[in-house]
């Protein structure tokens, strides 16, 4: 699946992560840009966690920007899933 809209999820609060999704052209591949308050220790874990969600949701072409404030894995997963669903136009049960 390929994101259709610009979308975001999360906040800049401590223990949260802000995830921004930008649609890109078919065949462009994934570009994941991360900045984090715990970049030195956890950059690879963050990338792996984000890519895991993108894999499960079968998102191949996307530009994802993540601004992390020390979010735990379940928060990262939830925010990426929310942003992707919003960018796909899937916002089940939301006005």
Partner 1 sequence: MAKKKRRSMLYIPGNNPAMIQQAGVYGCDAVLLDLEDAVALNQKDAARILVRSMLESVNFYDTEVCVRVNNMQTPFGLADLEAIVPMQPDNIRFPKTESVQDVRDFMKEVRRIEKKHDIKEPKMTIHVMIETAKGVANVYDIAACEPRIDAITIGGQDLTADMGIIKTPDGAGIDYARKRIVMAGKANGLDVLDTVFADVNDEEGLKEETEYIKKLGFAGKALINPRQVDPVHEVYNPSEKEIRKAYRVYSEFYKNTKAGIGVFAIDGKMIDAPVVQRAITVLEYANIDIKDIEKSLE
Task: State which of residues 34, 68, 79, 87 lies at the interface with partner 1 (CB under 8 A).
Answer: 79
Task: State which of residues 10, 42, 46, 68 lies at the interface with partner 1 (CB under 8 A).
Answer: 10
Contact criterion met (CB below 8 Å) for 80 and 53: yes
Cα–Cα dist 71/69, whole Å = 6
- DSSP state, residue 14: T
Task: State which of residues 6, 39, 72, 89 lies at the interface with partner 1 (CB under 8 A).
Answer: 72
Using rule CB under 8 A, residue 49 touches partner 1: no
- Grouping H, G, I as helix, E, B as strand and the rest as coil, residue 85 is helix
Using rule CB under 8 A, residue 37 touches partner 1: no
Q: How many Cβ atoms sit within 10 Å of the Cβ of residue 89?
A: 10
Using rule CB under 8 A, residue 31 touches partner 1: no
Structure tokens at 8: 């975001």
Using rule CB under 8 A, residue 9 touches partner 1: yes
Which residues are at the interface with partner 1 (CB under 8 A)? 9-10, 13-16, 71-75, 77-79, 81-82, 85-86, 91-95
């Amino acid at each position: 699946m390929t994101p259709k809209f610009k979308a975001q999820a999360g906040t800049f609060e401590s223990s949260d992560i802000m995830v921004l999704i930008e649609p890109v052209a078919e065949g462009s591949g994934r570009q994941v840009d991360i900045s984090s308050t715990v970049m030195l220790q956890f950059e690879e874990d963050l990338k792996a966690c984000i890519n895991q969600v993108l894999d499960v949701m079968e998102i191949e072409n996307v530009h994802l920007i993540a601004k992390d404030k020390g979010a735990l894995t379940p928060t990262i997963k939830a925010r990426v899933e929310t942003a992707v669903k919003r960018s796909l136009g899937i916002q089940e049960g939301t006005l």
